[in-house]
Amino acid sequence: MPRIRYILKTHMNYNFINFINFINFIKKIFIFYWNLFSRINFYLKKKNIQNQLKNKSFKKINVLLVKPFYYSDLYSTNINDPIEIIKSSQYRMGPIGLLFEFIPKVVISNYYGEIKLKKINKNNIRHKYFTKQYKQSIDFDKFDFSKFDWVISVKDSIPKKIIKKNSNILWTMLFEDHRGKNYLKDNIFGNKKYDLTFDTTQGFTPYDIFKNKKSVSFPYTFSHNNVCKKLLLKNNKRKQIVLEIYQPNYLSFKSIGNFNIVRLDGQLIIYEYFKLLSKTKYFYCPIYSIPRWGNSIIEAATFNCLIIGNTNCFWNSLIIQNECIAKNHLEGLSIIKKFEKNKSLYDRVLKKQQIVFNMINFNRPLDQIKKCVNKNFKNKKIFKLL
């Protein structure tokens, strides 16, 4: 009997592994066509992109970012300085363009949709952090929303009664990623509760085919490439390569000479990570097993690291320039060697990356919001400010 159980268990494990490998193979095929569509769509439409708000100041617009207490990413509350707000993030950079370019405030919500949560799961590994945030959550019935022109809810964390009570504010919901509840429904049919929803993509994806007028391509890492100055960091590039966190440890870089190689492990606090990126010349990501969302390459591009990588690693990969596409490690090394021998080529390709990055990651999302507001929300306070 033990022998039979062992054989059955081994057979089941083998079938499970084969099933997982098959699913990953299907994902790779899917993302290949996803990115092919996105690049063709971008190429066809980029000439028609109008940067109407380029160089415009938004410092008259008061923005409130509402974060649910059970959300472990992003910023803490009761901080006024934008740099200190960003430093308080637990993991990701998030939409720091909102913090630098507008008049920002961050508050904590204890709501999940229409439900006011009163208990915190004590078994959660972040119970201590969630408890701290819960204690800092606002009283929605007493909080003065009238001071703000634009409110952004991370996930659905604002009760409907508050939105109805303040109808002249632009109410938006930011999805974390495309696995979020009602993500597809809101993209296609629009959200009945919020004025706009942000799909956390850089646009031009297959989602655009059926996109509702109330859904905006607004990246989770909303930013531009002048963030270094805003953070009081120097953009001094060294002969340094940062490897995306999922790159294999066995990769060797001896053939490209005297480069400092940094292998990420997810342990750096956010501001130290920014310092690292501000000194890094290349962000390296040609190897992948399953596709990822792509926030890491957007963060690296924010700090003007040239992205050397495989477009099929990420759902959001438009910022990887044609000259920088590497499908394996040998191709990646060859590309770096080429740039190191030709500084003018490096400068030219980095400039192309910066132009595309600012276009799809900052200017276009704002242009889309302006168009939506001008067409559908002339009753909102923000209509006269955009």
pLDDT at 268: 86
Alpha-carbon gap, residue 363 to 169, rounded angstroms: 22
Tell me the average pLDDT across 46-75. Answer: 84
Which range in 29-38, 137-146, 266-275 is most confidently predicted, on average pLDDT? 137-146
| Band of pLDDT at residue 223, cut at 50, 70 and 90 | very high
pLDDT digits (tens, 9 = 90+) for 37-53: 999 999 888 877 766 66
Tell me the average pLDDT across 303-314. Answer: 95
pLDDT at 26: 83
233-358 — its CATH code? 3.40.50.2000
pLDDT at 48: 75
**pLDDT cut 90: percent of the chain above it:** 67
Residue 334 has pLDDT above 70, yes or no: yes
Alpha-carbon gap, residue 215 to 217, rounded angstroms: 7
| Band of pLDDT at residue 307, cut at 50, 70 and 90 | very high
Structure tokens at 260: 């400092």
pLDDT at 293: 82
Burial class (CB in 10 A: 0-12, 13-18, 19+), 125: exposed
Is 6 or 79 the better-scoring residue by pLDDT?
A: 79
Q: Which of 141-145, 314-318, 342-346, 357-361 has the lowest mean pLDDT?
A: 314-318
Tell me the average pLDDT across 16-30. Answer: 75
Residue 208 has pLDDT above 80, yes or no: yes
Tell me the average pLDDT across 45-70. Answer: 84
pLDDT digits (tens, 9 = 90+) for 89-139: 877 899 999 999 999 999 999 999 999 988 777 767 777 888 888 899 999
Residue 335 has pLDDT above 70, yes or no: yes
Per-residue buried b or exposed e for 290-326, using 16+ beta carbons within 10 Å of the residue's own CB: ebbbbbbbbbbbbbbbbbbbbbbbbbbbbbbbebbbb
Is 3 or 206 the better-scoring residue by pLDDT?
A: 206
- Do residues 151 and 145 make contact, with C-beta atoms less than 8 angstroms apart? yes
